[in-house]
Amino acid sequence: MHEVSIALNIIKIAGEELEKANGKGIEKIHLSVGKLSGVVIESLRFALDVSKKDGPLFNSEINIDEVPAKMKCQSCGHEFKADDFYITCPKCNEYKLEVLTGKELIIKSLTIY
Ligand SMILES: [Zn+2]
């Protein structure tokens, strides 16, 4: 499962940040997951819960936000919300769309103590 490798990667990054900050543990982690990132938030949450046991996120509160997808039509400039890639512009029906937000998967914040 794709989400497991993402979870392991997040745990690895969190561990590196903890080491850099010379902290004892991580109180909270806040993730932003784009609607078009291909990541299922519930699966990611489950993968994190399962994988965090011995790691730096052992006792952490995990918050995950979903970032809505926004597209911009390259032909008429119309900006709109979208749920997937395979759509056309609702105004002019063009296929040439630029993804403005929704593809990201980032660690928004880490609270280290
Ligand atoms: Zn358009």
Report the phi/psi class of residue 18: left, alpha or beta, with left for phi > 0 and alpha for psi in -120 to 50: alpha
Domain that holds residue 52: 2-112
Determine the distance separating the centroid of ligand 1 and the alpha carbon of 89, expressed in angstroms: 5
**pLDDT of 15-34, one tens digit each?**
999 999 999 999 999 999 99
Distance CA 58, CA 86 (A): 39
**pLDDT of 62-105, one tens digit each?**
999 999 999 999 999 999 998 887 789 999 999 999 999 999 99
Determine the distance separating the centroid of ligand 1 and the alpha carbon of 16, expressed in angstroms: 44
Q: What pLDDT score does 1 carry? A: 57
Helices (H) then strands (E): counts for the chain: 2, 6
Number of domains forming the structure of the chain: 1
CATH of the domain at 104: 3.30.2320.80
Determine the distance separating the centroid of ligand 1 and the alpha carbon of 82, expressed in angstroms: 13
State the Cα angle at 13 between 12 and 16, rounded to 5°: 90
